[in-house]
Amino acid sequence: MNKTITILPGDGIGLEVVKATTVVLDKIADMYGHHFDYQYADIGGAAIDKYENPLPQETIDACKNSDGVLLGAVGGPKWDNHPKGIRPEQGLLGIRKELKLFANLRPVTGHESLTDSSTLRKEVVDNVDLMILRELTGGLYFGEPQERRQVDGEEAAVDTLQYKKSEIERIVRQGFEMAKLRRKQLTSVDKANVLESSRLWRETVEEVKKDYPEVELDHMLVDNAAMQLIRDPKQFDVIVTENMFGDILSDEASMLTGSLGMLPSASVGSEAPGLYEPVHGSAPDIAGEGKANPLATISSAAMMLKYSFDMQEEADSVDRAVAEVLTSGHRTGDIAKQGEPILSTEEMTEKVLNAL
């Protein structure tokens, strides 16, 4: 198959990790007789530097005219105080909205050889295998009004948490679908004892549930979910929740495996191509030094193969190669223990190629 992939390196180590990943994708193309075309575009700080715009129209067009988007990372202290208040993250939020990427998939699976580096006890996190499904284009992130105003004669600020029923339904349905393919257990997280949007959320979940009698459903309050993820993460299979709760819980859950540098993510919609990116940030402190861990981005590409290109076997090959590299004890600086030899980004990529 021929596929066009838009590459958005972004900022900091984003450049290095996407470069490593295209090398792996090329090897997959070779092995399975595919052809991947890459088109590069700017986003985030890099785009602000060139265009004074974190998400230029060309970038949006490139993404729309492709089969999948691979993103490195955006942001860095360089753009923290732009005079016009332009911020790199606006590029990320904008592309989610433009491509209607309403579902963010955040799998959390520990590589057994790495659970030592978790701050949680080994028996608590060994074999954790959960998926957080976060709504990505609604809620507080995009609700209007979002503004400064005068209240009781003084300055105030307001954000709006709004959900339409259809927005809830499509992400919840995806949650049930995903649970059906996994251990058939869905936890819907809300704050229905306080928020009206959560009460609509919960009602909608109960309605969609009727179409999935085989899936076991739980409702959990967000404060309790934040506890349970630490108390007993193995109780979870698929968690589905709204945008802001998902942001917080998925980052919390990323700590279970003890290695942020390992975690991939996918953001998908129903029409446009999906966007795939590592969970980690742009790490400006080590940018350009060849120290970045490329595995999270490589795993994100595996998610692209699976979810956007329907290449299950190819995706499995990549996942197996990453697991093998880890089992063999190869480590970049972020996951190495005291005294272990440290590989560069390129060397780690080479190990993955060999394992393929």
Q: Would you please indicate which residues are annotated as catalytic (active-site) residues?
A: 141, 191, 223, 247, 251
Distance CA 108, CA 129 (A): 6
Cβ closest to ligand IPM, residue 59 vs residue 115 = 59
Distance CA 33, CA 41 (A): 26
Q: Is 247 in the site for ligand IPM (CB under 6 A)?
A: yes
Q: Is 77 in the site for a second copy (CB under 8 A)?
A: no
CB of 145 to a second copy, least distance (A): 9
Q: Are 137 and 100 contacting, i.e. CB atoms less than 8 angstroms apart?
A: yes
Task: Tell me the Cα Rg of the chain.
Answer: 20
Nearest to 46 by CA among 19, 6, 86: 86
Q: Which does 254 bind (CB under 5 to 8 A by kind): ligand IPM, a second copy, none?
A: a second copy
Question: Cα dist. 6→106, 182, 267 in Å?
Answer: 21, 30, 14
Distance CA 50, CA 47 (A): 5
Cβ closest to a second copy, residue 246 vs residue 273 = 246
The type of residue at 64 is K
- Measured at the CA of 298, the angle between CA 262 and CA 257, to 5 degrees, comes to 15
Q: Is 320 annotated as a binding residue?
A: no
How many Cβ atoms sit within 10 Å of the Cβ of residue 229? 24
| One of 86, 93, 323, 353 touching a second copy (CB under 8 A) | 93
Q: Which does 152 bind (CB under 5 to 8 A by kind): a second copy, ligand IPM, none?
A: a second copy
Question: Which residues in 71-100 contact ligand IPM (CB under 6 A)?
Answer: 89, 92-93
Distance CA 156, CA 146 (A): 11
Stretch that binds a second copy, among 18-26, 104-112, 226-234, 319-327 (CB under 8 A): 226-234
The sheet carrying 238-241 orders its strands as 35-40, 2-10, 68-73, 274-278, 264-268, 103-109, 129-135, 238-241, 185-190, 216-221
CB of 247 to ligand IPM, least distance (A): 4
Q: What are phi and psi of 91, to 5 degrees?
A: -65, -40
Q: Is 286 annotated as a binding residue?
A: yes
Given the DSSP bridges, would you call strands 103-109 and 129-135 parallel, antiparallel or unpaired?
A: antiparallel
Q: Is 287 annotated as a binding residue?
A: yes
CB of 236 to ligand IPM, least distance (A): 19
Distance CA 5, CA 273 (A): 9
Q: Is 242 in the site for ligand IPM (CB under 6 A)?
A: no
| One of 193, 210, 214, 341 touching ligand IPM (CB under 6 A) | 193
Cβ closest to ligand IPM, residue 89 vs residue 126 = 89
Cβ closest to a second copy, residue 296 vs residue 325 = 296
Binding track, positions 194-233, relative to ligand IPM; x by CB under 6 A: x----------------------------x----------
Q: Which does 26 bind (CB under 5 to 8 A by kind): ligand IPM, a second copy, none?
A: none
- Measured at the CA of 73, the angle between CA 68 and CA 77, to 5 degrees, comes to 155
Residue numbers in the known binding site for substrate are 96, 106, 134, 223
Chain residues in the site for ligand IPM (CB under 6 A) = 89, 92-93, 193-194, 223, 247
Q: Where on the chain is the footprint of a second copy (CB under 8 A)?
A: 87, 89, 93, 119-121, 124, 140-141, 143, 146-148, 151-152, 154-166, 191, 193-197, 199-201, 222-224, 226-227, 229-232, 244-245, 247-252, 254-255, 260
